[in-house]
Amino acid sequence: MSIVVTGATGQLGRLVIDELLAKVPADQVAAVVRDQAKATDIADRGVELRVADYSDPETLAGAFQAGDVVLLISGSEVGRRVAQHTAVINAAKDAGVARLAYTGVLGGPAADFALAAEHKVTEQAILDSGLTYTFLRNGWYTENYTAQIPVQLEHGVVGSTGGGKVGSATREDFAAAAAAVLAGEGHENTAYELSGDEAWTLAEYAAELSEQSGKEVAYTDVPAEALKGILLGAGLPEQFADILVDVDVSGISPGLLAGGSGDLSRLIGRPTTPLADTIAAALKG
């Protein structure tokens, strides 16, 4: 039996591996990767590599073994994820894994915005499979915003959130929760609503960035169509621009990404990383 992390060379996957290796011996961890060459550093730490591709169900046949505890990290290809996730679920069931954990979205079935649709279908597919599960319903990553700091310092912060709050946390916070659930006990057939301890508005984010950078950064709330135009002008594909606008309008504005359950800090045994700390780290580079 191994703890198996899929998508292990992605940003979240690598952090989950790090967290697991602080908890269990490396020979108890396996990493499912699409490109073995990108995972040499993981293998060098004693982690078993299993090569498979979400989009190629035949490769998934050897990715899991009976008794494994598996983390299915959701795919990044919006529009293709249901088929990809279903292939993983089927392979996990065929192998007889002990438990399947899945990184979904905050709110689960109640998340009424477009980006949540594939997550909701995936959760239902896991329920229908009969597998023992743990749903890790992740909120928004703080890095979704801090990664844009160079642009924000030049042009300000723009959104269509209408003053709604974001209960964000860092990828490291979410990775720590995943590792706790994978390596721990008592998480069977449970859904966790994972968010930061404190929710904030984009205006508050801009104010914090202003204070720490020493440069005035304003937040401008604009209509959805105006935000889409700005995103398209920045070079984003239209489908991705539509998703981001919808997150603001249908997710953040009505409070669906504010969180507040406290599940994340309870799982990781510490407070979640404050917004100010994540901004400070990003400014230091």
Q: At 173, list the tokens.
A: 């916070």
pLDDT of residue 220: 98
How many angstroms separate the CA atoms of 152 and 210, rounded? 10
Question: Which residues lie closer than 8 Å to 264 by C-beta, 6 or more apart?
Answer: 139, 169, 173, 174, 177, 192, 194, 195, 196, 197, 272
* Structural domains of the chain, count: 1
With a cut of 90, say whether residue 78 has pLDDT above it.
Answer: no
Residue with tokens 């204070």: 211
Q: At 155, list the tokens.
A: 């042009």
| Residues 257 and 248: beta-carbon distance below 8 Å | no
Is 249 domain-assigned? no
With a cut of 90, say whether residue 285 has pLDDT above it.
Answer: no
Is 207 domain-assigned? no
Domain limits at 125? 3-139+170-194+260-268
pLDDT of residue 22: 97
**Average pLDDT of every residue of the chain:** 96
| Residues 257 and 244: beta-carbon distance below 8 Å | no
Q: What pLDDT, in 10s, does the model give residues 26-57?
A: 999 999 999 999 999 999 999 999 999 999 99
Is 101 domain-assigned? yes
pLDDT of residue 51: 96
> Domain holding 49: CATH number?
3.40.50.720
Is 95 domain-assigned? yes
Taking the model in full, what pTM does it have?
0.96
> Taking Cα atoms as reference points, which of 224, 221, 218 lies closest to residue 205?
218
Is 221 domain-assigned? no
Kindly report the backbone phi and psi dihedral angles of residue 158, in degrees, each rounded to the nearest multiple of 5, phi listed first: -125, 140
Is 148 domain-assigned? no
| Residues 37 and 16: beta-carbon distance below 8 Å | no
Single-letter residue type at 77? E
Q: Report the pLDDT averaged over residues 197-221.
A: 98
Percent of the chain residues topping a pLDDT of 90: 96
Is 80 domain-assigned? yes
With a cut of 90, say whether residue 77 has pLDDT above it.
Answer: no
How many angstroms separate the CA atoms of 156 and 168, rounded? 20
Is 285 domain-assigned? no
Q: What pLDDT, in 10s, does the model give residues 210-245?
A: 999 999 999 999 999 999 999 999 999 999 999 999
